[in-house]
Amino acid sequence: MKKFCLAVHGGAGALLPSDFTPEEEERYKIELKQALDHGYNILKENGSALDAVEACVKYLEDCPLFNAGRGSVYNFDGKHEMDASIMCGATLKAGAVALVRRVKNPVALARLVMERSDYVFLCGEGAEQFAEFYNIEMADETYFDTPLRLAQWMKLKGTDIAQLDHTSISKSDVHTDNQKENSKFGTVGAVALDLQGNLAAATSTGGMTNKRFGRIGDSPIIGAGTYANNQTCAVSCTGHGEYFIRSVAAYDVSALMSYKNLSISEACMEVINNISNLNGKGGLIAVDKNGNVAMHFNCGGMFRGMKDSDGKSEVFIF
């Protein structure tokens, strides 16, 4: 019997159980489960892995709990700059966008780049012009403004410090009536295997708080933050992007499986160990061509979950 499965992540970092009330922890788990359900419902109806990962990531982009889409952090200039990518394991086609400010769901634009252009990677104004040409849903820049992200940025405003979104911030620094927005972490991503045996991966992020000079991390870079190949696996990464770029992390998982015949879990562990050796922090999710899932990280926790056609369904933070 053919198997389908998928996994999602909502970021990794220095997460501690003490950072969350039981209600907050449950809220994150509910959102991860909802994202998984969006992809699962597509896969069980014989839908494509591409459709499934896009649906999962779009759901997480729309959720203000995570640093992607609606919950994106502020850059040095007090703006939002979002990145995303998607890759098809069957064709090795890929699409990516970076530094977009008005695209409601950057992952949808990344897929459009893959399917409607001769390019792989668009950025900035050009990417937004492409989005408008194809009538991708846009949003006013204020749509991405949220109280916690503003509070995080205000702590760093005027400094040269860029900060990962999973760095702690006191709730006393946040003035909001919406308790749901009081704790937000993470780049988001999804990987999937469909009933046709095709793999796909997608990743989306708002980057680092107070980043400047047009900094781009690993999330939109094919082979670093996202990779899919039907012969091996699909991978989505999260963490300190510079280390994942240097390690070509997502592709390296596939290469280790192909060239060293490692299992998906062994390959992921080796990649994370290599990043640890560079003093980098983060994690990744991956699924192989047989439907085996791996979710590894080298920090306090990673918002993550998986669901498959065998009835297995689980979400974790720590």
Backbone angles phi, psi at 214, to 5 degrees: 70, 30
Among residues 167, 188, 234, the alpha carbon closest in space to that of 13 is found at 167
As a whole number of angstroms, the distance between CA 20 and CA 7 comes to 23
As a whole number of angstroms, the distance between CA 3 and CA 197 comes to 8
Pairing of strands 5-13, 301-308: antiparallel
Residues counted in the chain: 318
Pairing of strands 121-123, 94-100: parallel
As a whole number of angstroms, the distance between CA 310 and CA 68 comes to 30
Task: Name the 3-class secondary structure at 207.
Answer: coil
Report yes or no: 211 and 191 within 8 Å, Cβ to Cβ.
Answer: no
Tokens representing 290 are: 């047989």
Among residues 169, 203, 179, the alpha carbon closest in space to that of 13 is found at 169
Task: Name the 3-class secondary structure at 303.
Answer: strand
DSSP letter at 218 equals S
Which one from 187, 203, 209, 226 is the annotated catalytic residue?
187
- Per the annotation, the verdict on 209 as an active-site residue is no
Among residues 173, 142, 167, the alpha carbon closest in space to that of 300 is found at 167
Tokens representing 204 are: 């989306």
Report yes or no: 87 and 96 within 8 Å, Cβ to Cβ.
Answer: no
Catalytic site residues? 187
